[in-house]
Amino acid sequence: MRNKFLGTGEAGYNPWRKLKVILSGLRFAVQYDFSVEYKLVVSAIVMVLAIIFQRWIDVQMLLLATGLVLMAEMFNSAIEALCDFVEPNQNEKIRAVKDIAAAAVAVIMAIWVIVVASDLMDLLSVLMQRWRG
């Protein structure tokens, strides 16, 4: 897609090309960023349990929290890679930018941990009730 502001890119809009770029970015994030990978795996496990026990509010909260934490992780990775590309040497301003990006991840990750832990405790409670009879 052509960037009107920068005058770069290819002319015309092709949704299939856009989808290919999106999937490529997601695949890259999962393959090369362990923090994205493990959050996706943990969330998927908890989500499957929530679906099995038909805990729809838990599914919605988990989808929202996971989406936000994955988005923050991917933005953080992109910002860090761009900073390292622009300035490969130690630089206080670049360090501050990276620290702020990491802090943004920490904020949403705290919320993700609370949601996952809360959902797990709720699901374990339901499982124990069903197991007891």
Mean pLDDT to the nearest integer, 94-106? 97
Whether 73 is catalytic:
yes
pLDDT tier at 62 (50, 70, 90 boundaries)?
very high
**pLDDT value at residue 18:** 86
Which amino acid is it at 61? M
pLDDT at 130 exceeding the cut of 90: no
Q: Which residues contact 46 (CB under 8 A, 6 or more apart)?
A: 58, 62, 116, 119, 120, 123
How many helices and strands (H and E) does the chain possess? 4, 0
Residue 131 above 90 pLDDT? no
CA 79 – CA 101 distance, rounded (Å):
7
With cut-offs at 50, 70 and 90, classify the pLDDT of residue 3.
low
- Whether the per-residue pLDDT at 111 is higher than 70: the answer is yes
Residues annotated within the binding site are 73, 80, 98-99
Domain spans of the chain, in order of start: 1-32, 33-132
Given the residues 10, 37, 73, 87, select the one marked as catalytic: 73
Which residues participate in the annotated binding site for substrate?
A: 73
Q: Are residues 93 and 46 in contact, defined by beta-carbon separation less than 8 angstroms?
A: no
Q: Domain 33-132 adopts which CATH fold?
A: Helix Hairpins (1.10.287)
